[in-house]
Amino acid sequence: MELAVYRIVQEALTNVVKHAGSADCRVNLSRTAPGAVEIEVVNDAPAWLPSRLPPRRPGGGHGLIGMRERAAMCGGTLSAGPLATGGFRVHARLPCGLGAAR
């Protein structure tokens, strides 16, 4: 599960750089009850302004599909989409295994 958390955050941040350029971004990781880890990555880019976005580079990652698959492999969920105020949000919730509680 720890590797899934790391890779989801890594891919979400890669997508910010790739699609929103130098937009401000925040990552929030939290342990929630009952026994889950939540990941939230939000960028505060203005609503889609193509003239301000850097040119798209061909990807080598697995993007949103890969993040969803990683979350599902851990028994979790992932949602992603644009925000009404501009920017983009990725949110995942992964259950902690019984042995993972500390």
pLDDT per residue over 70-89, tens digit each? 999 999 999 999 988 888 99
Domain region containing 43:
2-51+61-97
Q: What's the rounded Cα separation, in Å, for the pair 39 and 36?
A: 10
With a cut of 60, say whether residue 2 has pLDDT above it: yes
pTM of the model: 0.79
Residue 35, in any domain of the structure: yes
Cβ distance 28 to 12 under 8 Å?
no
3 vs 62, higher pLDDT: 3
Residue 102, in any domain of the structure: no
Q: Which of 26, 38, 37 is nearest to 89 (CA)?
A: 26
77 C-beta neighbours (distance < 10 Å), count: 13
What total of structural domains would you count in the chain?
Answer: 1
Q: What's the rounded Cα separation, in Å, for the pair 96 and 24?
A: 30
Residue 90, in any domain of the structure: yes
